[in-house]
């Protein structure tokens, strides 16, 4: 039995806060239990009432004659801990606490919640709440819910797990979703979303989970539960609030601007196969599709069928924006459609069956069968305007169309999805044949196409298992990082070279003559760069000189460089200048490491150079990533086109870049405790077979690793 079973499916319930007063919160719980026909024992607890709502009441918990599986605490926040202590003494280890007044109210409430959490954890108490509406296990007819139950709620396969009570009310009152469980868990002080997700993974009544998440406190625990859902073949659809960048901290590394907490969240969910949606509408349509479809798309090819060319043009626009693939049809399919369509019809995808289809239903059905038979198509979407306000004659016309869809669906091996182009409920006369044939019906073109994309991605997802990379760790470098002191570019590149990442050949020069001699040894042309741990972005202070072709040029440039940087940053400590081989003919990329709690380190790759934050062409994933993962990351940026040889340019070594990204992700894991961020920008991706070389590097140790110097201590004491 799952540890949460007595909480979600108890055989007996004590109600603390039941009262002779009709409006008492505990009475709402009892009424809900009575209304749904709860089969277990209900024990109202009140010090003076002989009964509540026709049920015998008990003065205290000790007077209850039978065992108690679970209790609801319908009392004010100040009575919560004493109530839990009384329940614990009675042996009750499962409870729901509705009261507000805890962490959501400020420091005092947070301290009270911390005390409550500690007590429950020490005594093995499963607590839902506080600041919640509670639980409703629909299939089991168990309601520990403090709000009135939705009148039209119907049983189904969707488990809604929500930090927000309002989200539960909004979604559970829809007539388009059928529910197995409603869980309004509020602050999630003891049992949080991951715990309930773990429960529904093994629940026979649940096929899909919808999450409304305010805070993801324990990613590792969530990942375990999400993987159990994946193994059980149950999709997870998540709406995460608080994703805006307003709270993101600035970083000296470009990766801090490009890899935000939200990109880390997206990468985390993508790794687990959790569908992340943007709003209620997208959540609803995605859940409707997952609940209503039992056929697996085997590729990403989608065909769309309509009877309007103009709307199909809009479909193409939106499909491109949401990343949906509408492939060209096979020659055999095109030839077949030429025979089926009227002479003015165009056999392509999306397919306009023309206005003739409204009168020739057999022709419409033949078009649908032709699309389903195409080898590049894994799903066919029927696009139509069927709002609830259709006139009688129009509704009858479109009903005939969907009856043809239902007939084809009966023996189709591929998924068929119907969507109303407008975000309005579908006319009942049109909806009825679809429901009878189990064809999913969606509302709103954009959200429908997004939902279809989520369905395809869900079935295509495969999580890669990663091997240990602990052998990469060098304790000397770990100690250096742990000091917290800034790295120069020279030191950063030495670190990379020691971890198998190619860097430029270079030498440090402290005067003009040394610089000229170093340039001669390296070979011309060379680059001159300021070497200072105080200057992370050298170009901003004029600290880089390119295309130096002689010893004389290098010597002159050295003196000019030092003088220019001293003028811009007189306080900076300057070690000298790096004389560096100049690498040409490459594509500039940025590769980096960023860490965002609570997800741990991840890696970024994208278009590099001095304009990275302006261009913002980058993608991020949680470490570690394989070379295959890294290649997929590159494919999501403009680097994909550039490395293929844009406008006749020489194709670049994308495979080498993917290997570099993968290796850096291993470094991120190995030094996760010491390393905060890293920029490799630019990385020069050379022609195929020539590799990828780091031209500039910035390593940022964790700030809390730094050991205060004597000067810092004196300043702090002063």
Omega before 691 within 30 of 0, i.e. cis: no
CA distances from 668 to 27, 299, 545, 702 (A): 55, 33, 31, 12
For the chain, domain boundaries: 5-241, 296-460, 467-504+583-718, 506-582
Question: Smallest Cα–Cα separation from 293: which of 190, 201, 399, 414?
Answer: 414
SS3 content of the chain, % helix, strand, coil (to 5): 40, 20, 35
Beta pairing partners, 210: 160, 237
Q: What is the pLDDT of residue 609?
A: 82
Per-residue pLDDT, 466: 60
296-460: CATH homologous superfamily? Succinyl-CoA synthetase domains (3.40.50.261)
For 206, phi then psi, to 5°, come to -105, 130
Q: What is the enclosing helix (H) or strand (E) of 700?
A: strand 697-701
pLDDT at 715: 29
CB-based contacts of 192, cutoff 8 Å, min separation 6: 185, 217, 218, 221
CB 188 within 8 A of CB 147: no
Q: Which of 83, 74, 90, 68 is nearest to 31 (CA)?
A: 74
Please, are residues 221 and 263 in contact by the beta-carbon 8 Å criterion?
Answer: no
Q: What SS3 state is found at 688? A: coil
Q: Which structure tokens are listed for 26?
A: 């505990």
Exposed e or buried b for every residue in 652-671, given b needs 16+ CB within 10 A?
A: bbbbbbbbbbbbbbbbbbbb
Alpha carbon distance 411, 509 (integer Å): 76
Beta-strand relationship, 576-581 and 506-509: antiparallel
Strands 379-384 vs 302-306: parallel, antiparallel or unpaired: parallel
Angle (CA) 386-453-332 rounded to 5° is 80
Distance between CA 223 and CA 229 in Å, rounded?
Answer: 10
Q: Could you count the other beta carbons within 10 Å of the beta carbon of residue 362?
A: 10
> What is the rounded CA–CA span in Å between residue 454 and residue 254?
31
With 0-12 CB in 10 A as exposed, 13-18 as middle and 19+ as buried, what is 80? Answer: buried
Taking the C-alpha atoms of residue 151 and residue 145, their distance in angstroms, rounded to an integer, is 14
Q: Which two tokens stand for residue 243?
A: 């994703």
Apex 175 CA angle, 169 and 178, nearest 5: 85
| b/e map 458-475, b = 16+ CB within 10 Å | bbeeeeeeeeebeebeee
User: What one-character-per-residue DSSP string does 585-626 give?
Assistant: S-EEEEEEEEEETTTEEEEEEEE-STTHHHH--EEEEESP--
CATH no. for 467-504+583-718: 3.30.470.20
Q: Domain 506-582 belongs to what architecture? A: 2-Layer Sandwich (3.30)
Quick check: 158 and 180 in contact, CB under 8 A? yes
Distances (CA, A) of 267 to 261, 531, 600, 612: 10, 35, 11, 20
Question: Could you say which residues of the chain have pLDDT below 70?
Answer: 244-257, 463-470, 704-718
Q: What is the pTM of this model?
A: 0.88
- Whether 5-241 shares its CATH topology with 296-460 is answered yes
pLDDT digits (tens, 9 = 90+) for 553-584: 999 999 999 999 999 999 999 999 999 999 98
| Euclidean distance between CA atoms 408 and 362, whole angstroms | 11
Q: What is the CATH number of domain 5-241?
A: 3.40.50.720
Tokens 């999913």 belong to: 440
488 backbone dihedrals φ, ψ, rounded to 5° = -85, 170
**HEC-encoded secondary structure of 141-209:** CEEEECCCCCCCCEEEEEEEEECCHHHHHHHHCCCCCEEEEEEECCCCCCCCHHHHHHHHHCCCCCCEE
- Measured distance CA(316)–CA(349) in Å, rounded: 9
């Amino acid at each position: 039995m799952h540890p949460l079973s007595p909480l979600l499916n108890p055989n007996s319930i004590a109600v603390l806060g039941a009262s002779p007063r009709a409006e008492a919160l505990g009475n709402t719980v009892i009424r809900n239990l009575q209304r749904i026909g709860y089969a277990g024992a209900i024990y109202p607890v009140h010090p003076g009432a002989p009964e509540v709502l026709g049920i015998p009441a008990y003065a205290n918990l000790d007077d209850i004659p039978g065992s108690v599986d679970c209790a609801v605490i319908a009392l004010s926040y100040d009575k919560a801990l004493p109530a839990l202590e009384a329940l614990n003494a009675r042996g009750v280890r499962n409870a729901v606490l509705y009261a507000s007044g805890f962490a959501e109210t400020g420091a005092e409430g947070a301290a009270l919640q911390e005390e409550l959490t500690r007590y429950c954890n020490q005594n093995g108490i499963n607590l839902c709440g506080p600041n919640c509406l509670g639980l409703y296990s629909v299939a089991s007819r168990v309601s520990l819910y403090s709000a009135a139950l939705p009148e039209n709620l119907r049983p189904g396969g969707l488990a809604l797990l929500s930090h927000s009570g309002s989200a539960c009310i909004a979604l559970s009152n829809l007539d388009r979703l059928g529910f197995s469980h409603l869980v309004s868990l509020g602050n999630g002080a003891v049992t949080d979303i991951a715990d309930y997700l773990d429960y529904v993974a093994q629940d026979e009544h649940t096929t899909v989970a919808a999450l409304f998440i305010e805070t993801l406190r324990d990613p590792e625990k969530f990942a375990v539960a999400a993987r159990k859902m994946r193994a059980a073949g149950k999709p997870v659809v998540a709406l995460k609030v608080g994703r805006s960048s307003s709270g993101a901290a600035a970083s000296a590394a470009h990766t801090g601007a490009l890899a935000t907490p939200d990109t880390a969240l997206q990468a985390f969910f993508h790794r687990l196969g959790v569908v992340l949606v943007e709003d209620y509408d997208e959540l609803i349509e995605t859940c409707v599709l997952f609940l209503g479809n039992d056929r697996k798309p085997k590729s990403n090819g989608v065909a769309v069928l309509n009877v309007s060319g103009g709307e199909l043009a809009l479909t193409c626009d939106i499909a491109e924006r949401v990343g949906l693939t509408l492939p060209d049809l096979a020659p055999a399919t095109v030839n077949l459609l030429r025979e089926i369509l009227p002479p003015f019809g165009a056999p392509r995808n999306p397919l306009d069956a023309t206005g003739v289809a409204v009168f020739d239903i057999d022709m419409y059905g033949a078009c649908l069968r032709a699309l389903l038979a195409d080898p590049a198509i894994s799903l066919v979407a029927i696009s139509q305007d069927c709002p609830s306000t259709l006139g009688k004659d129009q509704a009858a016309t479109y009903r005939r169309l969907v009856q043809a869809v239902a007939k084809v669906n009966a023996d189709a091996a591929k998924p068929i999805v119907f969507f109303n182009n407008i975000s309005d409920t579908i006319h009942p006369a049109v909806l009825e044949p679809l429901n009878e044939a189990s064809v999913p019906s969606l509302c709103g073109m954009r959200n429908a196409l997004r939902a279809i994309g989520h369905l395809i991605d869900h079935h295509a997802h495969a999580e890669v298992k990663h091997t240990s990379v602990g052998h990469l760790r060098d304790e000397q470098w770990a100690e250096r990082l742990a000091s917290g002191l800034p790295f120069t570019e020279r030191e950063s590149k030495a670190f990379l070279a020691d971890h198998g990442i190619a860097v430029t050949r270079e030498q440090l020069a402290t005067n003009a003559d040394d610089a000229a001699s170093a340039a001669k040894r390296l070979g011309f042309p060379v680059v001159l760069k300021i070497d200072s741990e105080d200057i992370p972005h050298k170009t901003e202070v004029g600290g880089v000189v390119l295309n130096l072709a002689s010893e004389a040029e290098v010597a002159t440039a050295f003196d000019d460089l030092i003088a220019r940087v001293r003028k811009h940053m007189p306080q900076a400590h300057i070690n000298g200048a790096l004389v560096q081989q100049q690498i040409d003919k490459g594509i500039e990329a940025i590769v980096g490491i960023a860490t965002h709690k609570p997800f741990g380190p991840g890696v970024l790759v994208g278009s590099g150079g001095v304009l990275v934050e302006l261009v913002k062409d980058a993608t991020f994933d949680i470490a570690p990533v394989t070379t295959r993962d890294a290649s997929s990351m590159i494919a999501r940026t403009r680097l994909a086109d550039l490395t293929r040889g844009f406008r006749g340019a020489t194709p670049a070594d994308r495979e080498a870049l993917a290997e570099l990204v993968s290796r850096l992700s291993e470094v991120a894991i190995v030094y996760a405790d010491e390393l905060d961020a890293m920029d490799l920008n630019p990385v020069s991706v050379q022609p195929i077979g020539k590799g990828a070389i780091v031209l500039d590097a910035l390593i940022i140790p964790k700030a809390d690793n730094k050991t205060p110097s004597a000067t810092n201590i004196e300043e702090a004491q002063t």
